[in-house]
Amino acid sequence: SQVQDINKEKTAKAKNMAFAFDIDGVLAHGNHAIEEAKVALKMLNGDNELGIRIPHILLTNGGGKTEEARCAQLSEILEQPISTDQFIQSHTPMQALAEYYETVLVLGGEGFKIREVAENYGFKTVKFDAIMVFADSRDYQTDFQVIMDLLLAEDGKLLTKAKDPVATRIPIYFSQGDLLMPTDHKGLPRLTQGAFRISVEAQYKTLTGVDLERVVYGKPERATYTYADEVMKAWMEELHGVSRLPENIYMVGDNPASDIIGGNMYGWNTCLVRTGVFQGKEGENDPNSPANFGVFNNVLEAVKAAVAKEL
């Protein structure tokens, strides 16, 4: 019948779309779920007119605990199952670095948890072939000092001082570059890892006269999006039995300087929400990195608009 034909067509279209969600400021504030996010995820998990699951991955610049621990916590607060197979946090793609470095200094987050993350990724011991900042520092003074000590040391050997610190410097990686994050400090975004990195760069430049070479992961860096493609393909396979990228990917984010600029550069449809870092008024888009699909009051409105456009 005609109704069946329409449903068949809509199902085909539904299988050609997917979402990438930012977490902090879109699905949650810190450890508190945003109510509309629960409804949006439920809808995408099959509570819709077609009864079909629409793939969505979570792409966050957050971090500091294992993927398993964070997904368990998110599943609980959002009241929807979140699999590690649909989850990318800032340091997840850095797992690939375990092939190159045995022994790394890992900083950020709470000490024990971050060590567990690094060991899960395959880093063996914690000596120093490289420095990796995985999450926000909990102790700026100590972390600054130990980073400078190592950057100025002879080939990563603590308590030494290099004759030519630039030539023998070990590499330094940061898991993300955001200056601000929303968290649950309502109305006033907080400084995050980007602020820490700028300070490290300034200290190094002042001490040596040379710019610090460093690698940054996370949104909006390209490496994170290429990693997201792989996760998206695998998740498409899991949900629809086809390992390919859908044509229409919607990124829903709250931070124009990471979520939106990154999604725009990568050819995704971008939706900016008003529940996080972005504080624009009704009808306003971000002047520097405008969302190409639109600005929405919350994630549910964005999801509904995207689904209405595609189906």
Binding site for ligand G3P (CB under 6 A): 22-25, 60-62, 178, 181, 192, 255
Q: Which is nearer to Mg ion, 14 or 272 (CB)?
A: 272
Nearer to Mg ion, 25 or 55 (CB): 25
Binder of residue 62, out of ligand G3P, Mg ion, none (CB less than 5 to 8 A by kind): ligand G3P
Q: Which does 60 bind (CB under 5 to 8 A by kind): ligand G3P, Mg ion, none?
A: ligand G3P
Structure tokens at 29: 């504030």
Q: Are 255 and 278 in contact (CB under 8 A)?
A: yes
Kindly state whether residue 254 participates in binding Mg ion, applying the rule CB under 5 A: yes
**DSSP three-state, residue 265:** helix
CB 98 within 8 A of CB 140: no
**55: contact with Mg ion by CB under 5 A:** no
* Residue 22 lies near Mg ion (rule: CB under 5 A): yes
> Which partner from the list ligand G3P, Mg ion, none does 61 bind, CB cut-off 5 to 8 Å by kind?
ligand G3P
Residue 66's Cα: distance from chain center in Å? 14
Shortest spacing between CB 277 and Mg ion, in angstroms? 6
Q: Which residue is nearest to Mg ion (CB)?
A: 25
Residue 165, token pair as written in the block: 């610190």
**Least gap, CB of 59 to ligand G3P (angstroms):** 7
Of 15, 17, 21, 25, which one interacts with Mg ion (CB under 5 A)? 25
37, 79, 119, 234 from 74: Cα distances, Å: 11, 8, 22, 21
> In whole angstroms, how close is the CB of 145 to ligand G3P at the nearest point?
23
Please give the single-letter amino acid code of residue 57: I
Smaller CB distance to Mg ion: residue 88 or 106? 88
Q: Measured between alpha carbons, how far is 99 from 220 in angstroms, rounded to an integer?
A: 24
Peptide linkage before 81 cis (omega within 30 of 0): no
User: Torsions phi, psi of 64, nearest 5?
Assistant: 115, -15
Single out the residue of 24, 67, 178, 221 in contact with Mg ion (rule: CB under 5 A): 24
Supply the minimum distance, in Å, between the C-beta of residue 189 and ligand G3P: 9
User: Which listed option, Mg ion, ligand G3P, none, makes contact with residue 275 (CB within 5 to 8 Å by class)?
Assistant: none
**b/e 200-228 (16+ beta carbons within 10 angstroms → b):** beebbeeebeeebebebbbbbbeebbebb
Q: Which residues bind Mg ion (CB under 5 A)?
A: 22, 24-25, 254-255, 276
